[in-house]
Amino acid sequence: MPETQLGVIEGFYGKPWSWEERAAGAAFLKRHGFSFYIYAPKADAYLRKKWREPFPEGLEENLTRLSEQCRAAGLEFGLGFSPYEIYLSPFNYEVRGLLQNRIDAFNRIGVDKLGILMDDMKGGLPNLAERQIEIVNWIAARSAAKQFILCPTYYSLDPVLEKLFGKMPEDYLGKLGRGLDPKVSIFWTGELVCSKSYSEEHLRSIGGLLGRKPFLWDNYPVNDGPRMCKFLHLRPMTGRPAGIGKWLAAHAVNPMNQSELSKIVLLTLKMSYEAGAGCKAEEAFIKAAEIVTCREMALQLEKNLPEFADKGLDVLTAGEKELLKKIYMSYLVSPANFTAQAAQEVIDWLDGRYTVTKDLFLTQ
């Protein structure tokens, strides 16, 4: 059975990673058996609501450099493009011209995987699938990317999507499956937007509906919403049995805003795929945390999992936060740079520096 293609999609709201964190992350991902990274932070308005405007000075250069860094590391570089509500207006000569400008920029940057993201936008339109098919197929015919992945407006069967974006049109997913170019994959988050587990039965069924294997967008350990930002989702990956791999086009993880701490959870997923049913989550966590930080800090993080993943910022008292900060400040002088960076992320989280407000969540 071919190995499941694993990667990361930086697709969260709030504070994005830095260019330096992304470059360092590329080397880390390749070293540990991941094969792609997709740049898609919600904070980059020029790939979302400002997609019609020219790139600001430096953005294309930074993306080109990141593309080169990923490829030099042996990692495929991807980019998530979200032309906000493009399907609500006529797909005319003017819109096609603006879209071609972006495609030309992506071709210059060097994009291996181009995500066309129609999520978090207005739905409920009777011709939604047809409009999106026309746009996505048009892009796929003009882009130099090797792979295309559509994130549909309804990327899960979770009823919350209809509450937020309107009722899903009849046979929406089936129409996408029949009408999209066969070279276009489709993102899917599972039975829920943030699925705790995935079954082979569900993924096989969705693959039949979509007419292709789903490209899994795994929303764990992401912690970007007004509620989720109050937690560090550091517990190891579970509920993702290695057997699901044969029903997937690929498995992309949407990580936390904390780049270094996210690596711990990413490693536990890789270990789970490698060990299969024999993987012991607790042991995987310690091993992964030790790789990313050091043995001492790995044990400390394990001890504090209830505070980080269960209690969260709203329940921790001021005294508890200060005690935790004092503990992790001791790791800032570690000779291992990544240990210090992971400790700083814990401290910054305790200080509320990763908070995502409702206003920010709605405007990005």
Task: Give the domain range for residue 134.
Answer: 6-283
Two tokens, residue 120:
């978090």
Task: State whether 214 and 332 are in the same domain.
Answer: no
Mean pLDDT of 253-257: 98
Task: State whether 270 and 342 are in the same domain.
Answer: no
Mean pLDDT of 212-236: 96
Alpha carbon distance 302, 330 (integer Å): 17
Two tokens, residue 291:
């790789």
Give me the residue label for tokens 């002088």: 333
Give the residue from 255, 283, 311 where a domain finishes.
Answer: 283
Give the residue from 257, 283, 309 where a domain finishes.
Answer: 283
Cis peptide before 221 (omega within 30 of 0): yes
Mean pLDDT of 146-157: 97
Calculate what percentage of the chain has a pLDDT beyond 90: 92
- Do the domain assignments include residue 327? yes
Task: State whether 332 and 245 are in the same domain.
Answer: no
- Do the domain assignments include residue 87? yes
- Do the domain assignments include residue 355? no
Task: State whether 134 and 200 are in the same domain.
Answer: yes
What's the pLDDT at 288? 97
CA atoms in the 13 A half-sphere facing the CB of 290: 9
- Do the domain assignments include residue 110? yes
CA 279 to chain centre: 24
pLDDT above 60: residue 2: no
- Do the domain assignments include residue 249? yes
Q: What is the CATH number of the domain that holds 117?
A: 3.20.20.80
pLDDT band per the 50, 70, 90 thresholds, residue 277: confident
Task: State whether 34 and 183 are in the same domain.
Answer: yes
Kindly list the distances between the CA atom of residue 314 and the CA atoms of 91, 229, 237, 307, in Å, as whole numbers in the listed order: 46, 10, 24, 11
Task: State whether 196 and 255 are in the same domain.
Answer: yes
Task: State whether 245 and 335 are in the same domain.
Answer: no
User: 248 with 4: CB under 8 angstroms?
Assistant: yes
Mapped onto helix, strand or coil, the DSSP state of residue 188 is: strand
Concatenating the DSSP letter of every residue in 208-239 gives HHHTS--EEEE--S---STTGGGS---SPP-S
User: 78 with 53: CB under 8 angstroms?
Assistant: no
pLDDT band per the 50, 70, 90 thresholds, residue 1: very low
Task: State whether 302 and 279 are in the same domain.
Answer: no
Task: State whether 304 and 278 are in the same domain.
Answer: no
Task: State whether 252 and 346 are in the same domain.
Answer: no
Give me the residue label for tokens 């339109």: 125
- Do the domain assignments include residue 364? no
Task: State whether 199 and 266 are in the same domain.
Answer: yes
Alpha carbon distance 69, 28 (integer Å): 12
Alpha carbon distance 356, 226 (integer Å): 5
Task: State whether 246 and 343 are in the same domain.
Answer: no
Residues 6+ away with beta carbon under 8 Å from 250? 4, 5, 6, 7, 36, 185, 215, 216
- Do the domain assignments include residue 225? yes
**Sign of the C-alpha dihedral, residues 307, 309, 311, 313?**
positive
What's the pLDDT at 360? 66
User: Domain total for the chain?
Assistant: 2
Alpha carbon distance 269, 83 (integer Å): 31
Concatenating the DSSP letter of every residue in 106-124 gives HHHH--SEEEEE--SS---
pLDDT above 90: residue 337: no
Per-residue model confidence as pLDDT tens digits over 47-102: 999 999 999 999 999 999 999 999 999 999 999 999 999 999 999 999 999 999 99
Alpha carbon distance 106, 63 (integer Å): 9
